[in-house]
């Protein structure tokens, strides 16, 4: 059966460098660090043809998430106050929590699934995920789905 997926989530470290440079050039253009495509591609060290070939096919995960729900899976220590810290982090980025599911902790570790609505006022989703990952007591954060 042929693969029907149109989108994949892949970790940054697995991407070829050209894709990362295309994203960087797009950011330069958006933030007006470069006024033209030529200036942007020269700044990041790729050709115009590479930029045009990939510009509509690669974008940061969070860029296409506004107004959508994302599901995060987390493995955390079973410690008082840790869930509250995570909820406060999500609130700090002004994302709307739709659902929370936590398993019964086994050996002091619980699995949690958050469904989060990304609103127009939500801050940088990648920064939010990074903040969650860096929280003491959090072992793992995975993006399970985007709706």
Are 37 and 90 within one domain? no
Q: Token pair 């959090």 is at which residue?
A: 138
Are 31 and 69 within one domain? no
Q: Does the residue 1 lie in any domain?
A: no
Residue 132: how many other CB atoms lie within 10 Å: 19
Q: Does the residue 107 lie in any domain?
A: yes
State yes or no: pLDDT of 18 exceeds 50.
yes
Q: Does the residue 48 lie in any domain?
A: yes
Of the two residues 58 and 22, the one the predictor is more confident about is: 22
Angle, nearest 10°, between helix axes 125-134 and 82-92? 160
Q: Does the residue 19 lie in any domain?
A: yes
State residue 47's pLDDT score. 93
Closest CA to 145 of 25, 5, 31, 39: 5
């Amino acid at each position: 059966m042929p693969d029907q997926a149109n989108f994949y989530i892949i970790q940054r470290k697995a991407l070829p460098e050209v894709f990362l440079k295309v994203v960087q050039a797009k950011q330069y253009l958006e933030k007006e660090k470069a006024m033209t495509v030529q200036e942007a591609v020269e700044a990041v060290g790729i050709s115009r043809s590479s930029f045009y070939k990939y510009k509509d096919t690669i974008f940061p995960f969070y860029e296409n998430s506004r107004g959508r729900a994302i599901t995060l899976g987390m493995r955390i220590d079973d410690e008082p106050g840790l869930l509250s810290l995570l909820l406060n982090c999500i609130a700090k980025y002004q994302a709307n929590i739709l659902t929370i599911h936590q398993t019964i902790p086994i050996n002091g570790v619980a699995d949690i699934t958050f469904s989060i609505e990304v609103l127009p006022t939500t801050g940088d989703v990648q920064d939010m995920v990074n903040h969650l990952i860096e929280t003491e007591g959090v072992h793992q954060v995975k993006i399970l789905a985007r709706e």
